Structure 1
Amino acid sequence: MSGSRITVVLVLIILAFDVSQAQTERQRLEKEKQEIQDRILETQKILSQTASKKNNSLGRLRALNNQIRSRVSLVNAIKGEVTLLDEEIAEDQSIIDAMENDLNALTDEYGQMIYATQKTSSGFNQLTFLFASGTFNQLFMRMKYMKQYGEARKKQVEQIQIVQQSLNEQIVEIEEQKSSKQSLLNEELSENRKLSNLQSEQRSLVTKLEQQENKIRQDLARQRASEKELSDRIDAIIEAERLAALASAVDMSDINAAFEGEKGRLPWPVDQGFVSSKYGKHRHPTLRTVMLTNKGIDIQTTKNASVKSVFPGKVSAIMSIPGQGNTVLIQHGEYFTAYSKLKAVVVKKGEQVQAQQVLGQVLTDNNDVSEVKFKVFDQKTTVNPETWLERKIN
């Protein structure tokens, strides 16, 4: 096989491999982008509900913050696609350059063959060349030579056609890639404008909320008091349940193992929503000197959203605390999950519930914010619920 033909084969192999790799990466980016866009639509729906009565609320600020994070992620995903296309275009251009070089080399080789044939054939025809053989063996060798030379010319033509076709296909592909890149750049520009508008609204809202510091501090004090009351009651119920299980020597190893096996894969307690307040300590969104401690996560969702159990278990308690709405506490062996800020509950104490069974509806406050607080308790204390729930891309 000639050097040109070897190069052509290698180029085609590399091309097929690169296309497969690029398609895999592009599919991953497309999937990620679609998930982000889904989250944006969810948050937009939640954001529109918080605007129906009062614009100046912490719930609206949290929805705006989440929308901005999602928009930033979307812009970054688009940039990733553009970078990938730039790399593909550069790779394809190098392949086109290699193919053009091979095509020129093959054409030159074919031209030299034709020239050599014409030069050899000048002054006599093929029959004269054959019958001029001195021996039968020489005649046989001349016939074999002519056949091989003819086949070589035919293969050279076929090779030129293969390279030319591949080159044309690659040129079409690179033009499509450039068109896709321009579409993505236009999309990125549009998303950047939307992001800029959201950031402007965010700054304006923060300024307005900072002017309501006294009211926010009073609301925060009431919220902390109601959360402590709820937390104390839940702790007491869990402790009583554990003592009862210990006294009865109930084996909970199987259900404990089953619950632990779902870590990172538990369904969310609501179908739509985002984490508006994370687990643990973090700074207040407008009171910069105030630190908040959250023993669960707050999930902002849509009005009248159904709140569901994340795992099979027994309803240990149903309680109502002013400021926290109704709370459902479910036991899963030595683990517990708590669902607070419900306006209505459709299960009863002692009832066995299944995963994704509806427990009640989310409560909507005076600012049109619909938010459920979700907690997970292990054998000792609360743990970060986000590490137990299936991951959502912001």
Structure 2
Amino acid sequence: MFLFASESFNQFALRLRYIRQYTEERQRQAARIMGTQYRLHQQLSGLTEQQKRKSSLLNSQLNENRNLLSLKTKEDEMVQQLSQQEQGLRQELEERRQAANQLDNLIAARVREEIVRAARAARLAARREAAFAAARDARRAAAARNASGGAGPARPRRETDNTTSETASNDDPSANPESDAPETAAEAAADRRAVRIALTPETALASSSFSGNRGHLPWPVSRGFISQHFGRHPHPVLKNVTVENRGVDIQTGEGEAVRSCFDGRVDKIASIAGMNTIVMIKHGDFFTVYAKLRSVNVHEGQRVSAREVIGTVATSAEGTSEVQFQIWHNSSNLNPENWLGRK
């Protein structure tokens, strides 16, 4: 209608060209719209994928935050448990120190008693020897006087002199050391100052034999390993804490038999909290100490031989069975690892 309403052919041609141009423009515009729609669709798809990725990342982050919160809670619980365990370890360490101090005091007191006893026994032996020498000299002098006085009355006088000498010897405290008079203050002070056990020939032989077996002594248990060494060393768990061990701790099996490492005499049996039962054996002027025993098969004063069973090892509440072994020379603490032989 627009074309046929033209008033002239020229107007018809112009209107036809206009319609063609308009149609082409509409087609180009439609193409641009389609292109724009495609780009928008692509952008929308990208944004959708990006939103999905962000949503996934957000979920992952939320899950990670929840995991971190759970780990933080577990870490706090673990820290609290470790703190409680540390307090328990410190308390256990303090109890162990107290038990070790009690054991050290017991050993030191017993060694001191043995030093004083040996000094007193040596002094009494010297007095006895002096009394016997004095009596012998008196008998010899009386015999000489009787011999110079004549043959007839010599025998009665000698018997009288001997009787008198024996009576004097019995009345003299120095001649009868078993009824020795109380020791003087000087003698008591000398006993307190003594640092070594006065050895008799028998104890000197025992000490020499024990000392000669350095590095060859049998272990106090038939099987086991050293779980804690001698001396000062850092605590295996607590930082900046040093522990001191007077002997060696030997971990072994439950109910394992504990044996004497050398011939000797049972000097002391005692019980200390944290150390259970303790057996102290004397070898001349050497002492071996066996702690953490559950039961004991010997008694004080009993003679024991090497490898003779003296008791059984105790087991702690944690299920650990170990015996503590110490060696002392007079009042000096020695490293047992230098004295024990190879297993």
TM-score with structure 2 setting the length: 0.52
Aligned to 1:351: 302
SS in 1 for 2:100: helix
1:258-311 per-position Cα deviation (integer Å, ceiling 9, x unaligned): 001100000000001111111100010001210011111100110000000000
Using the TM superposition, give the Cα deviation of residue 352 of structure 1 relative to its aligned residue in structure 2, in angstroms: 0.4
Q: Specify which of 271, 288, 291 is matched with residue 239 of structure 2.
A: 288
The alignment yields a C-alpha RMSD, in angstroms, of 1.4
Using the TM superposition, give the Cα deviation of residue 246 of structure 1 relative to its aligned residue in structure 2, in angstroms: 2.2
SS in 2 for 1:217: helix
Q: Specify which of 103, 107, 111 is matched with residue 230 of structure 1.
A: 103
SS in 2 for 1:268: coil
Using the TM superposition, give the Cα deviation of residue 243 of structure 1 relative to its aligned residue in structure 2, in angstroms: 1.6
Q: Specify which of 374, 378, 386 is matched with residue 337 of structure 2.
A: 386
Aligned to 2:91: 218
Aligned to 2:205: 254
SS in 2 for 1:216: helix
Which structure is richer in relative contact order (CA contacts within 8 A, separation 6 or more)? 1
**Aligned-partner Cα distance in 1 for 2:305–2:83:** 44
1:108-133 per-position Cα deviation (integer Å, ceiling 9, x unaligned): xxxxxxxxxxxxxxxxxxxxxxxxxx
SS in 1 for 2:292: strand
1:362-391 per-position Cα deviation (integer Å, ceiling 9, x unaligned): 000000000100000013311000100003
Counterpart amino acid of residue 235 in structure 1? A
Asked if structure 1 preserves the Cα contact closer than 8 Å seen for 2:220 and 2:307, the reply is yes
Aligned to 1:321: 272
**Aligned-partner Cα distance in 1 for 2:227–2:289:** 17
Aligned to 1:269: 220
Aligned to 1:297: 248
1:75-105 per-position Cα deviation (integer Å, ceiling 9, x unaligned): xxxxxxxxxxxxxxxxxxxxxxxxxxxxxxx
Asked if structure 2 preserves the Cα contact closer than 8 Å seen for 1:274 and 1:299, the reply is yes
Using the TM superposition, give the Cα deviation of residue 209 of structure 1 relative to its aligned residue in structure 2, in angstroms: 6.7
Using the TM superposition, give the Cα deviation of residue 211 of structure 1 relative to its aligned residue in structure 2, in angstroms: 6.8
**Aligned-partner Cα distance in 2 for 1:380–1:328:** 17
Using the TM superposition, give the Cα deviation of residue 210 of structure 1 relative to its aligned residue in structure 2, in angstroms: 7.6
Counterpart amino acid of residue 296 in structure 1? G
**Aligned-partner Cα distance in 2 for 1:337–1:255:** 13
Distance 1:377 1:347, change over 3 A: same
Matches within 5 A, 1:150-161: none
Counterpart amino acid of residue 214 in structure 2? K
Q: Specify which of 236, 243, 257 is matched with residue 116 of structure 2.
A: 243
Q: How many pairs are equivalent?
A: 185
Asked if structure 2 preserves the Cα contact closer than 8 Å seen for 1:341 and 1:373, the reply is yes
Aligned to 2:285: 334
Runs of 4+ in 1 over 6 A off after TM superposition: 208-211
Aligned to 1:196: none
Which protein has the larger Cα radius of gyration, Structure 1 or Structure 2? 2
SS in 1 for 2:301: coil
**Aligned-partner Cα distance in 2 for 1:357–1:221:** 34
**Aligned-partner Cα distance in 2 for 1:309–1:231:** 20
Asked if structure 2 preserves the Cα contact closer than 8 Å seen for 1:327 and 1:340, the reply is yes
**Percent sequence identity over aligned pairs:** 41
Counterpart amino acid of residue 354 in structure 1? S
Q: Specify which of 306, 317, 323 is matched with residue 257 of structure 2.
A: 306
Instruction: Give the helix-richer structure, 1 or 2.
Output: 1
